[in-house]
Amino acid sequence: MCGGNKDTECSSKNFLFSNAASWRLYSPENVNSKSVRVFYLVWRWFWTILFTTFLVLSGALPQTWYTDQSQRIKYFIYLTNWGYLTFCIAQIWNAATSTAGYFTQDMEVRWYMKINWFLYSLTSSPAVLISLLFWALIYSSSYPLEPDTFFTHGINCLFTLLDIWLTAMPIKILHFYVPASFAVVYVVFSVIYDYSNGTNALLRPYIYSVNSN
């Protein structure tokens, strides 16, 4: 995998998102199959609309995670919401890129394809890891199970795993810094927020409370 050949997985050209030989929406044998391309386009837009609709509804409907309306702005302090917001942005961009790919069948790596690849790398790992951390460390029997719990800590995770299996989007070892940067930025933010005596949406002196049961 990481031998001396310049075209190996660990080649420096795989560090960024410009390796034209790697990028593709479809596997080579299916790129000219209209039925596959139609299915992929429907797949992308169905989930994009579903996830984005839920995002909008979760912002409009009353929730139990805050004490009053003034605390709703604290939506943006939670790792779950960082992950879900970027996840939805990635899905919208991916659907738009897939639409362009469907109509143009362009195999040259365009700027919007590079952004799509970057967003895919940025959001795939957090979607899975945030869900695992939630159920392992945060959830308890007293935690209210609402639709957003399953969307942001379950359905998006399962979709990501299935999408990785279905798509031909390449996953490169040298792109590890992308999701790692996401984690580092959140850790820095949470430390600063904590030392600034910030409270969560329930006015408690922390963002998350780890379940010790």
Q: What is the pLDDT of residues 29-85, one digit of tens each?
A: 556 778 888 888 999 999 999 999 988 887 766 666 677 778 888 889 999 999 999
Closest of 104, 85, 84 to residue 96, by C-alpha: 104
Model confidence pLDDT, tens digit, residues 104-144: 876 677 888 889 999 999 999 999 999 999 888 888 777 76
Say which residue the tokens 């309306």 belong to.
Answer: 69
Hey, what are 42's tokens? Answer: 């429907």
Any idea what DSSP says for residue 137? Answer: I
Q: How far apart are CA 155 and CA 171, in angstroms?
A: 21
Q: How far apart are CA 87 and CA 75, in angstroms?
A: 15
Q: How far apart are CA 138 and CA 117, in angstroms?
A: 31
Closest of 163, 153, 108, 149 to residue 129, by C-alpha: 153
Q: How many CB atoms lie within 10 A of CB 71?
A: 15
Hey, what are 127's tokens? Answer: 């979607």
- CA atoms within 13 A of residue 82's CA, in its CB half-sphere: 19
Is residue 86 a contact partner of residue 119, using CB atoms and an 8 Å limit?
Answer: yes
**pLDDT recorded at residue 212:** 47
- Chain centroid offset of residue 28 CA: 25
More confident residue, 192 or 67: 192
- Does the pTM surpass 0.75? The reply is yes
Q: How far apart are CA 74 and CA 206, in angstroms?
A: 12
**pLDDT recorded at residue 183:** 95
Q: How many CB atoms lie within 10 A of CB 53?
A: 11
